[in-house]
Homo-oligomer: A and B are copies of this chain.
Amino acid sequence: MTTGGPRARYREQTRTEIKEIALRQLAEGGISAVALTRIAKELELSGPALYRYFANRDDLLGSLIGDAYQDLAAAIGEAAQASAKYTPRHRLLSLAGAHRAWAVAEPHRYLMIAGTPLPGYSAPPETLAQARAALGPFLPLFASAQPISAVLPVAEQMDTWVHQEPAVAAWVAQYLDTTDGADHALAGAVMAWTRIHGVVSLEVEGLYSGMGHQPQTLLEVEMNTLADTFRLG
């Protein structure tokens, strides 16, 4: 679609080069280490030239955030494919493990999407879709679940949500054959996401340092107890 002339091609290539250097800076020094001037220097360009490719620094970071979301969603999607034939409980552990593995491998990118939001940055509408792409593979695991009654308050809120917003219903329909059990599926997905984020963000932020447990083990326990709560097989 954007395959215009050779000019558009060159433009796209320069954009990716810029992003590659930005990713390296991100990996080395965190988000605040991403500096347009130093990227320009490395490309042997002069500072303002970069503004031909990204409107400003937030635009560049937003692009990185979008890529990161997509990568994470892809990693989870692959795990979902690979584990499709196993039990829901097994698949839940698999998806959670894939989520954590990605985050641990790319801590700064994970923090960019799951950590403190940028000061003035407001996520573009696509972000919502990308977040839902990452969450979607969790839905089928809980579709036919029979959660214990303690979960009902959340399931009820999910029920009204899916009935009020057609976009949500459409999203759920992508991952579920029937819309039956959408409330349980959404409740399970949100709770899984929440617990995974709890374990993984504390690990990646280094707040578990000096504590005597392995995040991997904790994550497995969290997912197993969640599977119990939803009475997964």
Q: Is the CB of B221 within 8 A of A158?
A: no
* A160 contacts across to B, CB distance below 8 A: 212
Give residues 97-116 of A contacting B (CB, 8 Å). 111, 114-116
A interface: dominant SS: helix
Give the shortest distance, in Å, between A9 (CB) and chain B (any CB).
35
A48 at the interface (CB under 8 A from B): no
* A225 contacts across to B, CB distance below 8 A: 148, 150-151, 225, 229
Partner of A115 from the list B115, B164, B195 (CB cut-off 8 Å) is B115
Contact with B along A159-170 (1 / 0, CB 8 A): 011101100100
19 contacts between A and B (CB under 8 A): A30-B116, A32-B32, A32-B119, A114-B207, A115-B116, A115-B205, A117-B205, A117-B206, A131-B207, A151-B221, A154-B213, A154-B221, A157-B213, A160-B212, A191-B221, A194-B218, A196-B198, A197-B202, A228-B229
- A residues lining the B interface (CB < 8 Å): 29-33, 111, 114-117, 119-120, 128, 131, 148, 150-151, 153-154, 157-158, 160-162, 164-165, 168, 186, 190-191, 193-199, 201-202, 205-207, 210-214, 217-218, 220-222, 224-225, 228-229
